[in-house]
Amino acid sequence: METTDQSTRILAIETSCDETAAAVIANGVTILSNVVASQTEIHARYGGVFPEVASRRHVEVIHPVVEEAMRVAHLGFGDLDCVAVTRGPGLVGSLLVGVNMAKGLAVARNLPLLGINHIEGHIYSLWLTEEAPHIRFPVLTLVVSGGHTELYLMTDHGQYRLLGATLDDAAGEAFDKVGRLLGLPFPGGPAIDAASDKGNPAAFRFPRAVMDQGYDFSFSGLKTAVVRQVSQYHSTAAMPTADLAASFQSAVVDALVSKTAAAAAATGATAVHMAGGVSANRALRAAMRARLALPVRVPPLALCTDNAAMIGAAAHFHFIRGRRDSLDLDVVPSLQLV
Ligand code: KG4
Ligand code: ZN
């Protein structure tokens, strides 16, 4: 695999949502530091990410987070080859904090600047695993996060074919909404994952969000079915929470796995990669591995949810191909990968 044809040390910054993160990555594959200041506890009070609060918190912690990433990496700014930053998709006010920080460093330290797509960052989290030397294209990648549910065929570095996407809610969004319905703490994904341990996934037969053709997903019908079931109980205390959680989770997992298996069979992919917050889900990992004959690769938990290490990995592969962005770089809240 061509990762060592040019050695790089890249400082990466990620502030697209509610994590303020900075990392230093060597050669696209080695984590020298990976600092994440999570705001999850702050937003849990509101039951979701509060954009205004998120951007203000990013402003407060971005400097110490970047300094900590440099300190842990034992590097000075003069040792860096580039500053990379998430430019979208994400919350505009949050993205702006990271992009302005990166621009300031690029000017002050005379460093090249690269704006990276957050989704591409999630995809490159797989290059930060010990599996990286085994990656061969084409790879089928399922990106499942709070804002995205997309299936890509990656044919080379930076080359993506979008095979399918959600037509309504993202998988993580469905987890978060159903978590709220069940009275579980925010974010709903990890809470449902944990609650499902004691539940029966066959207790309720929720609709499988499988469309007849193609590789698109839909989760709004499933969410409505959970709403209807939940409305039969007088309070969250009266609900069979574990059974509801496990049954909902099993419906989401079935939909994700069946579409991915069909796409894998049709495309000649050498492996299936999963990335994004929902790829932390234990039932999803187990079902994907059980259903697919191909290698199924997932990042370690810390690299599933938002972090800057993955942004640095993606940036390396752009940098060694000669890409440089201008200081006019702007945020693009609805940035598309393809
Ligand atoms: O990738 P991420 O950190 O942020 C976005 O870019 O959206 O993903 C966050 C999402 C949330 O919806 C959260 O509930 C979900 O990932 N999530 C999980 C699990 N851990 C995080 N969903 C299901 N099971 C999990 N274990
Ligand atoms: Zn993300």
pLDDT tens digits along 226-266: 999 999 999 999 999 999 999 999 999 999 999 999 999 99
Q: What pLDDT is recorded for position 321?
A: 96
Within this chain, do residues 167 and 97 fall inside the same structural domain, yes or no? no
Within this chain, do residues 148 and 290 fall inside the same structural domain, yes or no? yes
Distance CA 183, CA 123 (A): 32
Q: Return the closest-CA partner of residue 188 out of 176, 205, 174.
A: 176
Within this chain, do residues 294 and 309 fall inside the same structural domain, yes or no? no
* CB of 216 closer than 6 angstroms to any ligand 1 atom: no
Residue 146 has φ and ψ, to the nearest 5°, of: -65, -30
Q: What pLDDT is recorded for position 5?
A: 66
Distance 15 CA to ligand 2 centre (A): 10
Q: What pLDDT is recorded for position 47?
A: 79
Q: What pLDDT is recorded for position 4?
A: 47
Into how many domains does the chain fold?
Answer: 2
Instruction: Tell me which residues have their CB within 5 A of the ion that is ligand 2.
Output: 145, 306
317 has pLDDT over 80:
yes
Within this chain, do residues 115 and 175 fall inside the same structural domain, yes or no? no
Distance CA 102, CA 14 (A): 10
Distance CA 296, CA 249 (A): 19
Atom 3 (ligand 1) nearest CA: 305
Distance 305 CA to ligand 2 centre (A): 6
Q: What pLDDT is recorded for position 212?
A: 66
Within this chain, do residues 151 and 264 fall inside the same structural domain, yes or no? yes
Q: What pLDDT is recorded for position 3?
A: 46
* Domain presence at residue 85: yes
282 has pLDDT over 80:
yes
1 has pLDDT over 80:
no
- Average pLDDT (268-277) is 97
| 203-214: pLDDT as tens digits | 999 998 656 678
Q: What pLDDT is recorded for position 210?
A: 59
- Average pLDDT (7-16) is 98
User: Residue for token digits 């970047």?
Assistant: 66
Write down the pTM of the prediction: 0.94
Of residues 114 and 212, which shows the higher confidence score?
114
CATH of the domain at 118: 3.30.420.40
> Which residue segment(s) compose the domain that 252 sits in?
136-298
Distance CA 45, CA 170 (A): 22
Q: Return the closest-CA partner of residue 311 out of 154, 125, 77.
A: 125
DSSP-derived secondary structure for 45-90: TTTS--HHHHHHHHHHHHHHHHHHHHHHHT--GGG-SEEEEEEESS
100 has pLDDT over 80:
yes
Within this chain, do residues 178 and 289 fall inside the same structural domain, yes or no? yes
- Average pLDDT (128-155) is 97
State the closest ligand 1 atom to the C-alpha of 90, by its place in the atom list counted from 1.
6
Residue 291 has φ and ψ, to the nearest 5°, of: -85, -30
Are residues 320 and 8 in contact, defined by beta-carbon separation less than 8 angstroms? yes
- The confidence band for 6, taking pLDDT boundaries of 50, 70 and 90, is confident
Within this chain, do residues 88 and 203 fall inside the same structural domain, yes or no? no
